[in-house]
Structure 1
Amino acid sequence: MNFRRSVLSLLVASACAPAFAGTVDLSSINDATLSPRFIVTYKPGAAERTQPAARQRSLDAAASSARPQLGARIAAQQGAAALQVKTLRATYSGQHVVRASQRLDRSQAETLMRAIAAQPNVESVRVDRLMHAAAVPNDPVLSSHQMWHYGTGAGGARVTTAWESGATGAGVVVAVIDTGATHHADLEPNLLPGYDFISDAFVSHRDDDSRVAGGWDLGDYSAANECGAGAPASNSSWHGTHVAGTIAEVTNNGVGGAGIAYNARVLPVRVLGRCGGYTSDINDAIVWAAGGHIDGVPDNTTPAEVINMSLGGAHECEADTQAAINTATSLGTVVVVAAGNDNAPVVGHAPASCANVITVGATGYSGQRASYSNYGAGIDLAAPGGAGTEGNPNGYIWSTLNDGTTVPGNDIYAGYTGTSMATPHVVGVVALMQSVAAQPLTPSQVEGLLKATSRAFPVKQSQPNGTGLLDAAAAVARARTFGQPIDGIPTSPGTAMLLPAMAAGQRDLYVIDVAPGKTRLEITTYGGRGELQLLAGYEMDPLPNQNAGASARPGVNQAITVVNPAQGRYYLAVSATQETSGSRLLVKVN
């Protein structure tokens, strides 16, 4: 996708070093100027790994080789004053921490590292980097208003922990299909040139029906009765600006609040204006945002990896909307939609009930289901949307806005509630996930990982609200390691397997591959004697607090059902909590 940044290896070797020279990692070279400590990996079987005398001879040879190149002051030193390199300790993984006897500048540290790497039995050398307490971005609204929904409290999405791991959304494009965006100073630097897809002058507040470049929000205000008999007058909502700010507001600039994926870029796509927006315009916008061609509109040169749609209506998913979504996902774009705010089953709302989307319910400060949030089996997961009951600031989601009642006025920051506000939390986290993944995750993989890493609701939900509460830190961590091989025992769908006898505490891992388009994954254990625990994980070895399904009750009869399973590999962990024998495992994929 466009704007993806390739991660280049920082492992380099000296051009003039011998062919057998080990690699040198200079990514933290600045830390070596504060404390000249290095981690040295010796080749398997090398004497230096186990024999201190051999290791010291190698380090002495490296120091001797480096001294003439470290400047006249160091080169002239003799005896005990001369530069030396000593071993401090071995690490748990068999590497060795070594330290130079003198403080070095960047060039000197690099020279010494290359001299160590040039020794015959050295595999690699890197700086023993310094870690620091992670600082929260300095945006004042973050600390005063946003921390409840970004932080680690009961209702928080753990975004701050994901930031601490280094995820920022860099290189990812996010499309916000909404009312467009205003020229907000704390948002505009992260906006790409978007497009206004509204093809009706009354709705757009423009002079004619033409679609225009830009994606700027001209206001969605209306006079009394304009949107139907008895409809009251309404001010402009600047809804798209609020949504976009949650995703990618400029961060760490000492102004306003923070965006979840603050190094991502937002593509504003305007489809909503006075009295709403037409389905036909919205469908075209979905395809265009993902990189598809729409007649009469210049092709999008910055296709989005994820689309935010905080919009919808009380009707079934229509065929043309489903076709537009299918086109977007076929192009690799993740589509995330709001569940709706009618406190009703999500099945009667679109696009929330469409296939191939991630549908988001809303929670409040304590992690409770927001009273307005739609609910039901169609919800994939929940995210902070604000309940409104806790007052200011904890009852609301805070983001960028505008104070104009009709046309744009001044930049402000304001609190809104709704599944519209929950959805950009998920979209921002998707951008964080894509920015750290070794290769772009498919829409199905993103959905599977989000649901598998969602955390248990801190309080009981009043209605079904998805697999759990969005956990940015866990989702980002899984995205980083996604695709790494995990060994497991293959299973055959529809065929019962006799499990081996297991001692208490024993654990076996099984695998099942799920093809696209499946609607139900059923996993059961039964028969025999003893007691088992069953966990399922999507593309991961499941843990009790991080899984796609769990069953732990007395006896051997355990069952997990995954509705609308993602395409890919599921891992099934079968653990004996008491000694077992004669039990069977049955997996069905429908």
Structure 2
Amino acid sequence: MMDKHAFRRNPLAAVMAATLGLAGAQAAQAADPLPVREPLHAAPADAQGTAARLIVRYKDGTAAAAGDRTAKLAAANAALGRAGLATATARGAAAPQVGYVRRLGTGADLLRVSGKLTPAQLERVRAEIAADPAVKSASIDRLKQPLLVPNDPYYATYQWHYSNAAGGVNAQPAWDKAQGEGVVVAILDTGILPDHPDIAVSKLAGYDFITDSFVSRRPTDDRVPGALDYGDWNPVADECYAGSPARGSSWHGSHVSGTVAENTNNAVGMAGLAYKATVLPVRVLGRCGGYSSDIADAIIWASGGHVDGVPDNANPAEVINMSLGGGGSCDDETQVAIDGAVSRGTTVVVAAGNDADDAANYSPASCNNVITVGATRINGGIASYSNYGAKVDLSAPGGGGSADGNPGGYVWQLGYTGTTTPTSGAYSYFGMAGTSMASPHVAATVALVQGALAAAGSAPLTPAAVEALLKQTARPFPVAPPANKPIGTGIVDANAAIDKALTPPCDPGDDDCAPDATPLTNKVVVGGQSGGDQLFSFTAAAGQVLTIMTYGGSGDVSLYVSLGEAPTTTAFDAKSTRTGNSETVRITAPSAGTYYIRLLGNPSYTNVSVVARQ
């Protein structure tokens, strides 16, 4: 049921959606507290959950790759012996044994080791299996968690993250052109509360991919249709891994789904950014989080690939959002699953993480072929918790927490008051902050763009083209992030992205045709640049020294710069062509205008950073 008592004390909750998009709409002040939850960060890189599970991929063409389970288990149990774990313990506990769980959609095998192994013991087993000449890779099936920061107990106005001039995503003019109609967005998360009165009208039943009953809180390990959020509460500390806290259920998936496509213009609650998109909920997170193996299979299934034991998805997603993560760099199976999704035309959007650390140290934020999203505050500056670095492509509103007060410190969406099961409370609305909240703003913007193109009779953009578009049209940070903490090219701008997607390419011979370039913000490092030929732009002021630099990564890049037009290797105003990636162009007396910056590989470069300073 809906918390009607809260509605009586806060009439805004019933009318807010209807007033969105009207200039000067006002919100009533409410002083009723909402539950406050402590920040949830990534689990440690060695967090393996309650079950010791390993993902093993065999080399193509080997006998093991085509072999039966018996042979594979014999080899794995032999690895137990080499790791010194093939005998009973001094206290009489049975010797560990390896059992076969299933074949993943990526083609790898999932194995389970019986008994309680320490992280160090499991790592020894993994290393022994990986040493087998027939094995291509062996990884621990680690837990991922939803990424969130606490909500605040007070709110008066909501959803600054859509329209605030400094920190918002410029949604209101975008809604005049597109609402995401016809686009399927898969939300890989804790599931949803399907009976919430403000959940997306256009939603599919989805699927529960969790294969551990402890994690899912369902009676069996089987995957089942539907994506009901059974609750992810932890009644005691250390239940999931050493140091894990006791906490109530987050209802994280419903909150994230709300940002993508909460019911809008229905005189109830709040609004979704792509409110006519179709939400495909896929449950991969539960008690203690979710396993990489389940997430990898869910990525494949959601994007239209085949996974054994699950009916094929009749509604493949054009966009996948993953507001989840864990410690450690991108594992092989997650990357294989993502690559498969991208090959099927699905854009994959992921949260950078909430540990104020380099996103390269977290997965799936560090994976290739994804759009990794950092978090900004209401003032457009970096959120203190946001991960950063070359892996972050662009940012979106995540909220600054208590530093920005209420409502500006949080992203507001639908939720639930219960702290355990989905029958323990009432439907409600609350604020959260985190890169989890930033990521669905980008996923929803992708849905708006693809929906606008479909309505115009144009073909959808490829995932690579979507990423380039969002980075090129991102709004420069009103508050530049620290130089050592880059969070991409800027803040996602839904309206600018739609406008550019719908604008026909101009004739390069036309004097009014501006080159298609990714804008640089003064002193903001844009990392992770790879390829052979990329064009950037920078709007310079007159008279102040302009310095443009590239550095880091591998390969060999050359730097060419011109005012007002794209430079070539034969027509440029300045260049730096030293061997390697450390290039510098310094213009001591620049003119006011747009400088175009070309990064040209010799023949290619990887993970290069570029920055313009004036």
For residues 373 and 430 of structure 2, the distance between their equivalents in structure 1, rounded to whole angstroms, comes to: 22
Q: Is the 8 A contact 2:164 2:378 kept in 1?
A: no
For residues 490 and 329 of structure 2, the distance between their equivalents in structure 1, rounded to whole angstroms, comes to: 25
Q: 1:398 to 1:584 in 2, by over 3 A?
A: closer
Partner of 1:247: 260
Q: Is the 8 A contact 2:232 2:249 kept in 1?
A: yes
Partner of 2:433: 417
Q: Aligned to 2:337, what secondary structure does the other structure show?
A: helix
* One-letter code aligned to 1:387: G
Q: Is the 8 A contact 1:551 1:560 kept in 2?
A: no
Q: 1:556 to 1:136 in 2, by over 3 A?
A: closer
Partner of 2:371: 358
Instruction: Give the 5 Å matches for 1:448-527.
Output: 448-462=468-482, 463-481=485-503, 484-488=504-508, 519-520=530-531
Instruction: Give the 5 Å matches for 1:544-559.
Output: none
Partner of 1:432: 448
From 356, 379, 384, the equivalent of 2:397 is 384
Q: 1:583 to 1:395 in 2, by over 3 A?
A: closer
Partner of 1:91: none
From 316, 328, 335, the equivalent of 1:322 is 335
For residues 413 and 318 of structure 2, the distance between their equivalents in structure 1, rounded to whole angstroms, comes to: 22
Partner of 1:98: none
* One-letter code aligned to 2:229: D
What does the per-residue CA deviation read over 1:69-89, in whole Å, with 9 as the maximum and x for residues that have no partner?
xxxxxxxxxxxxxxxxxxxxx
User: Does residue 217 in structure 1 map to residue 206 in structure 2?
Assistant: no
For residues 194 and 476 of structure 1, the distance between their equivalents in structure 2, rounded to whole angstroms, comes to: 28
Instruction: Give the 5 Å matches for 1:225-374.
Output: 225-229=238-242, 231-374=244-387
For residues 248 and 267 of structure 2, the distance between their equivalents in structure 1, rounded to whole angstroms, comes to: 30
Q: Is the 8 A contact 1:522 1:559 kept in 2?
A: no
From 196, 201, 206, the equivalent of 2:218 is 206
* One-letter code aligned to 2:475: R
Q: 1:247 to 1:137 in 2, by over 3 A?
A: farther
Instruction: Give the 5 Å matches for 1:129-144.
Output: 135=22
* One-letter code aligned to 1:402: Y
* One-letter code aligned to 1:452: Q
For residues 382 and 563 of structure 1, the distance between their equivalents in structure 2, rounded to whole angstroms, comes to: 22
For residues 572 and 257 of structure 2, the distance between their equivalents in structure 1, rounded to whole angstroms, comes to: 56
Q: Aligned to 2:158, what secondary structure does the other structure show?
A: helix
Q: Aligned to 1:425, what secondary structure does the other structure show?
A: helix
Partner of 1:575: 564
Q: Aligned to 1:429, what secondary structure does the other structure show?
A: helix
From 386, 404, 418, the equivalent of 1:404 is 418
TM-score normalised by L of structure 1 = 0.63
Residue 552 of structure 1 and its aligned partner are, at CA, apart by 6.8
Q: Is the 8 A contact 1:261 1:429 kept in 2?
A: yes
Q: 1:347 to 1:582 in 2, by over 3 A?
A: closer
Q: 1:202 to 1:550 in 2, by over 3 A?
A: same
From 440, 453, 465, the equivalent of 1:445 is 465
Q: CA RMSD in A?
A: 3.4
What does the per-residue CA deviation read over 1:248-289, in whole Å, with 9 as the maximum and x for residues that have no partner?
000001110000000001000000000110000000000100
Q: Aligned to 1:474, what secondary structure does the other structure show?
A: helix
For residues 253 and 511 of structure 1, the distance between their equivalents in structure 2, rounded to whole angstroms, comes to: 39
Q: Is the 8 A contact 1:551 1:559 kept in 2?
A: no
Partner of 1:95: none
Q: Is the 8 A contact 1:198 1:272 kept in 2?
A: yes
Partner of 2:607: none
Residue 153 of structure 1 and its aligned partner are, at CA, apart by 2.0
Residue 160 of structure 1 and its aligned partner are, at CA, apart by 1.4
Residue 510 of structure 1 and its aligned partner are, at CA, apart by 6.5
Unaligned runs of 5+ in 2: 1-19, 30-154, 518-527, 554-559, 566-570, 576-597, 605-614
Residue 519 of structure 1 and its aligned partner are, at CA, apart by 1.1
Q: Aligned to 1:149, what secondary structure does the other structure show?
A: helix
For residues 134 and 588 of structure 1, the distance between their equivalents in structure 2, rounded to whole angstroms, comes to: 44
Instruction: Give the 5 Å matches for 1:148-159.
Output: 148-159=160-171
What does the per-residue CA deviation read over 1:216-248, in whole Å, with 9 as the maximum and x for residues that have no partner?
111111221321355432211110000000100
Name the count of aligned residue pairs.
Answer: 405
Q: Is the 8 A contact 2:352 2:386 kept in 1?
A: yes
TM-score normalised by L of structure 2 = 0.61
User: Does residue 394 in structure 1 map to residue 408 in structure 2?
Assistant: yes
My pick for the range that moved more, 358-367 or 231-240, is 231-240
Partner of 1:167: 178
Q: 1:265 to 1:138 in 2, by over 3 A?
A: farther
Q: Is the 8 A contact 1:509 1:574 kept in 2?
A: no
Q: Aligned to 1:434, what secondary structure does the other structure show?
A: helix
Q: 1:301 to 1:561 in 2, by over 3 A?
A: farther
For residues 582 and 413 of structure 1, the distance between their equivalents in structure 2, rounded to whole angstroms, comes to: 55
Q: Aligned to 1:312, what secondary structure does the other structure show?
A: strand
From 189, 199, 224, the equivalent of 1:187 is 199
For residues 230 and 416 of structure 1, the distance between their equivalents in structure 2, rounded to whole angstroms, comes to: 23
Q: 1:370 to 1:340 in 2, by over 3 A?
A: same
Greater relative contact order (Cα 8 A, min sep 6): structure 1 or 2? Answer: 2
Q: 1:572 to 1:192 in 2, by over 3 A?
A: farther
Unaligned runs of 5+ in 1: 1-132, 491-505, 524-535, 538-546, 565-570
Q: Is the 8 A contact 1:432 1:476 kept in 2?
A: yes
Q: 1:417 to 1:334 in 2, by over 3 A?
A: same
For residues 549 and 474 of structure 2, the distance between their equivalents in structure 1, rounded to whole angstroms, comes to: 17
Q: 1:489 to 1:572 in 2, by over 3 A?
A: farther
Residue 587 of structure 1 and its aligned partner are, at CA, apart by 5.7
For residues 170 and 349 of structure 1, the distance between their equivalents in structure 2, rounded to whole angstroms, comes to: 33
Q: Aligned to 1:145, what secondary structure does the other structure show?
A: coil
For residues 138 and 293 of structure 1, the distance between their equivalents in structure 2, rounded to whole angstroms, comes to: 47
Q: 1:175 to 1:563 in 2, by over 3 A?
A: farther
Residue 461 of structure 1 and its aligned partner are, at CA, apart by 1.1
